[in-house]
Amino acid sequence: MSNELQVGQVLDDRFKILEVINRGGMAWICEALDRQTGRSVALKVPLLQFECDPGFFSRFQREENIGLTLNHPCILKMFPASDKSRPYIVMEYLEGRTLAARLHEQTRLSEGEAVRIVSQICEGLDYLHRKGVVHRDLKPENVMLCKDGTVRILDFGIAKSENARRLTFGGFTAPMGTPDYIAPERVQGKRGDSRTDIYALGAMLYEMTTGLPPYDGDNPYVIMNARLSGDPEPPRKRNPELSPEIEEIILHALERNPSKRFPSVASMKAELNNYGQVSLTERFKRLRPPQLWKARVPLLPKIAAFVVIQIAVFFLLFWWFSHRSHRDNSAGTSKPGVVETSSQTK
């Protein structure tokens, strides 16, 4: 089968490709006509080079298995399909745009709009968590703002289910997630729980109301190190128009210690829905700036020391081999004399 999906192509004599919406780094997203039901659906089809990757295939299967168990108005709905000729996921087709596209168009949202969107995300997350599922990759790209004003949570590629037989383990690999929204415990390689999603939601609300993610850095490792060593700038320092109550909610969700965050997304949603009554604890006064990620020894002296050590090792090895060669040659010149003596004796 061709690696390129084409408009008009039919998968399994059922799904006719109407439009290729996006070709990502690992999968196609297409609008298709389900010829059995007559409705438009969205298909997520892996690129062929990843279909043979056991790790990717396992995650892809888990994403579909988790999605098929979910049924909530704030979560992307998936539909079963049997007798597939290749892996793909059938999903509801949504008209709208992602939160990431919305933020690209308008960097900072109004406080009211941000609260409305995050409150709906909380509804979906609360349902997920009660079902024993942790999303673990919440970010603006994975939230769809539909034309009818509703919100959908997308992409369960690295979600963790308590009921799953196989779970993603981050202990032997780099933490999975997106640097701007990943929780500190995930940076440390831990699996994460519902409070991991709360942290990501706090990071998203921070960005939606200030126009910037909580941490800045030249590369992902600097960003991830920053959230381990310190706290972000107070949101109201970046947006003075933001209310103290929303700042309080954001910083509560962004606590580096999971036990200090909201105990549940339901409790976070309750405060968002009545944020005018939130008690102010002046969390912003207890924030600690991140420590710069610097090596203890400047780079140039480290390089010089490395070169000196390599030169010393070279001369040491050179001396040792020269000494050994000289010793072997000396020993070798005496052996013919022994043979001659032995020959004469015979």
The DSSP line for 83-110 is S-SS--EEEE---EEEHHHHHHHSSS--
219-231 pLDDT per residue, tens: 888 888 899 999 9
**DSSP letter for each residue of 265-295:** HHHHHHHHHTGGGPPP--GGGG--PPPP---
Q: Is residue 282 left, alpha or beta, with left meaning phi > 0 and alpha meaning psi from -120 to 50?
A: left
Say if residues 182 and 175 touch (Cβ distance below 8 Å).
Answer: yes
264, burial (CB in 10 Å: exposed 0-12, middle 13-18, buried 19+): middle
- pLDDT tens-place string over residues 126-147: 999 999 999 999 999 999 999 9
CA triplet 75, 81, 87: central angle to 5 degrees?
Answer: 90
- Architecture label for domain 10-92: 2-Layer Sandwich (3.30)
Residues carrying CATH 1.10.510.10, the chain: 96-286
The active-site residue out of 137, 155, 197, 231 is 137
204-220: per-residue pLDDT in tens?
999 999 999 999 888 88
b vs e for 121-142, b when ≥16 Cβ sit within 10 Å of the residue's Cβ? bbbbbbbbbebebbbbbbbbbb
What's the mean pLDDT in 9-13? 94
8 Å CB contact between 160 and 63: no
Q: What token pair was written down for 2?
A: 């061709």
Identify the band that residue 168 occupies on the pLDDT scale cut at 50, 70 and 90. Answer: very low
Whether residue 343 is predicted with pLDDT greater than 70 in this model: the reply is no
Q: Tell me which amino acid residue 226 is.
A: A
Sign of CA dihedral 196, 202, 208, 214: negative
pLDDT at 37: 95
CATH architecture assigned to 96-286? Orthogonal Bundle (1.10)
Mapped onto helix, strand or coil, the DSSP state of residue 324 is helix
Question: pLDDT at residue 79 above 50?
Answer: yes
Is the pLDDT reported for residue 3 higher than 70? no
Task: Compute and round to an integer the Cα radius of gyration of the chain.
Answer: 30
Exposure letters 320-331 (e unless 16+ CB within 10 A, then b): eeeeeeeeeeee
| Helix, coil or strand: residue 163 | coil
Report how far residue 263's alpha carbon sits from residue 260's, in angstroms, rounded to the nearest whole number.
8
Angle formed by the axes of helices 194-210 and 265-273, nearest 10°: 30
What are the tens digits of pLDDT across the range 286-339? 999 988 765 444 445 655 666 777 687 777 766 766 766 666 566 554 444 433
In contact, 123 and 269? CB cutoff 8 Å? yes
pLDDT single digits (tens) 257-280: 999 999 999 999 999 999 999 999
- Residue 137 annotated as catalytic: yes
- Count how many Cα atoms sit within 13 Å of the Cα of residue 3 in the half-sphere of its side chain: 9
